[in-house]
Chains A and B, each alone.
Chain A
Amino acid sequence: MILRLGKDRPPVALVAPAALATVFLALPLVGLVARAPWRDLGDQLTSPEVASALRLSLLAATMSTVVSLLLGVPLAWVLARLRFPGRGVVRALVMLPLVLPPVVGGVALLLVLGRRGLVGQWLDGWLGMSLPFTTAGVVVAETFVAMPFLVISVEGALRAADRRFEDVAATLGASRWVAFRRVTLPLVGPGVVAGAVLCWARALGEFGATITFAGNLPGRTQTMPLAVYIALESDPEAAVVLSLLLVAVSVVILVGLRERWIGAV
């Protein structure tokens, strides 16, 4: 019997590390499921704090994604299509939240947008608006850390897009804005969706910037990651349950989204 090698069998050199990576990524989930207090699950899950933390997390992550889309897509377009002095600097600024420890980001936001911050003191004095300790503050903190994911994804898609379609649109009478809206944007749609999903996931999991800038108050600023951390102080079992809940909700949403919008490949 002749063994068929080569083209017919997937290359071991690639499959083996991939399998290892999958196992590695699944480890936390396995640990959580194994150590979950399955008997007490019902009581833990139905407490009102859990419901409010979950609702706040989903709301804040979604709002952060919306803000990131409104600001990030135009930024991605500018970076991908315009040539201007200082473009490298702007791109570095976009990458900054990616390398900055989130807590540092939170402190920086406080120094600028806090009550005595550079900008915050005007906001507080003139408009009576205060961002720290509010849900809006949570959205600001999450947007700061998550927007770069969207910008980078969309910029990549725009660079890869065929610009000739915009020329075609121009010859048909489309102004640059109309061409962007009706041709470019639909063409990079999958890239925008992928970026939005990444952004949403990152915002959902954000901890350091949120707790530093927005604080921690159940119902107003205590998102799921914060609730897990606080629970870990005194009741690790509750922390496991909360973690499992967050993971379950995230997986359901991410898997559901991928199939429908990013397209089955």
Chain B
Amino acid sequence: MKPLLAVILAVALLSGCGGESSEAATSGAVTVFAAASLTEAFTEIATAFEAAHPGAKVTFNFGPSSGLAEQIVQGAPADVFAAANTSTMDKVVAAGLSDGAAEVFVRNYLEIAVPAGNLAGISGLADFAKPDLKLALCAEQVPCGAAAKKAFAAAGVRPQPDTLEQDVKAVLSKVSLGEVDAGIVYHTDVQAAGGRVAGIEFPEAEQAVNDYPMVVLKTAPNAAIARAFVAYVRGAEGARVLTEAGFARP
């Protein structure tokens, strides 16, 4: 429901200020489709951006990158797209919708998430092969799932998940509710969850890093403000917020 609602909101906003040519390049509305793992970081960056550029309004559509890419290809009105891996971005680029090259702006490492207390005594990827544990993974059609698959292959482990969630936030919520003993999420998600979830790093994560590219889309009606947002994210303030959230520098 959330993506749809955001799309409707975006359309409403755009139609509301359509036809106006903005005098200042840094005012107006910009719609950003971003991977679910960027939720907390981007929201914080947007607040700072709006404070620095009065008249600017950022609207988000957070979700699994693959689904967002699909929506963009089908014609959803987005100005900026930030994906959780390069293959989902490739879809948008291949459709000829990107304005310029997509540049990687952060990397995100996978991490094992366990409920606070780690009652099941999880220590590493090998635990994911145990059938008596309740385990959650992302579906491999989404970037987090694709990366986890690579990591398991590198570790030589055959995971026995009990559920394949449609985005990384869903995995995180199952872990924080204590419904599963462990799940694979991003390092940023573990940090965002605070005390409810504990993280366990694993060496194979190095081999399954997700590079996050970002691009302004050709269909952006207000390209100037879109570019300004992208520049802000890459700038000092944006980098600070992203690093604090747990993202790694590219």
Contacts and interface: CB of A to CB of B under 8 A. Distances in A.
Interface string B102-140: 000000000000000000000000000000001010010
A121 to B, nearest CB: 9
Contacts of B166: 211, 216, 229-230, 233
Given A216-B166, A217-B164, A233-B139, A110 B1 contact: no
Contacts of A132: 134, 179
B161 interface: yes
A169 to B, nearest CB: 49
A116 B165 CA distance: 19
Interface in A220-242: 220-222, 229-236
Interface string A102-129: 0100000011001110000000000000
A103 B139 contact: no
B178 A116 contact: yes
A72 interface: no
A37 interface: no
B64 A116 contact: no
A114 B177 contact: yes
Contacts of B162: 133, 215, 217, 220
B184 interface: no
Given A216-B139, A217-B164, A233 B177 contact: no
A103 B165 CA distance: 14
Interface size class of B (residues with CB under 8 A): 20 to 34
A28 interface: no
B237 to A, nearest CB: 32
B129 to A, nearest CB: 16
A236 B70 contact: yes
Nearest to A234: B141
Nearest to B74: A236
Contacts of A110: 177, 179
Counting contact residues on chain A (CB < 8 A from B), the size range is 20 to 34
A234 B66 contact: yes
B141 A215 contact: no
Given A110-B177, A234-B141, A221 B67 contact: no
Contact of B1 (A103, A212, A218): A103
A111 B66 CA distance: 29
A211 B179 CA distance: 13
A231 B170 CA distance: 17
A215 B163 contact: yes
A217 B145 CA distance: 13
B149 interface: no
B142 interface: yes
A196 to B, nearest CB: 28
A133 B66 contact: no
Interface string B212-224: 0000000000000
B179 A115 contact: yes
A101 interface: yes
Interface in B57-81: 64, 66-67, 70
A101 B1 CA distance: 10
A216 B66 contact: no
Q: Which among A103, A116, A133, A222 has the greatest number of chain B C-beta atoms within 10 A?
A: A133
Nearest to A101: B1
5 contacts: A215-B136, A215-B163, A222-B164, A229-B166, A233-B139
Interface of B: 1, 64, 66-67, 70, 134, 136, 139, 141-142, 161-166, 170, 174, 177-180
Given A218-B164, A229-B166, 7 more contacts: A114-B178, A132-B134, A132-B179, A133-B163, A133-B180, A230-B166, A233-B141
Leading 5 A-B pairs by shortest Cβ distance = A215-B163, A133-B162, A234-B141, A116-B178, A233-B66
